[in-house]
Amino acid sequence: MPKRTLQGVVVSDKQEKTIVVRVDRRFTHPIYKKTIRRSKNYHAHDENSQFKPGDMVWIEESKPISKLKRWTVVRGEPKKTA
């Protein structure tokens, strides 16, 4: 079975080797037929502490690393500055 991969935005990097990633998903409400946005935070392992808040990252599920970490960072893009 393939590992799940999610795309999200880094919201915190205050812990060592750990980032918090917000993953947004959109779906249509079953009754009202309106598009709804929901988000969830995931703790992900960042070995080199290279990602900062605002960066776009892809995370992949892995075996449990700590109490909250079950994801690792696969790749990322720095935040675009205007």
> Is 21 a member of any domain?
yes
CATH number at residue 20: 2.40.50.140
Segments forming the whole domain that contains residue 54:
5-77
> How many domains are contained in the chain?
1
List the pLDDT tens digit at each of the 82 positions of the chain.
Answer: 888 999 999 999 999 999 999 999 999 999 999 999 999 999 999 999 999 999 999 999 999 999 999 999 999 888 776 6
> Is 82 a member of any domain?
no
Q: What is the pLDDT of residue 39?
A: 98
Distance CA(27)–CA(72), nearest Å, equals 25
Q: What is the pLDDT of residue 82?
A: 63
> Is 60 a member of any domain?
yes
Residues 6+ apart with CB under 8 A from 64: 70
CA Rg value for the chain: 14
Is there a contact between 23 and 6 (Cβ–Cβ < 8 Å)? yes
Q: What is the pLDDT of residue 80?
A: 73
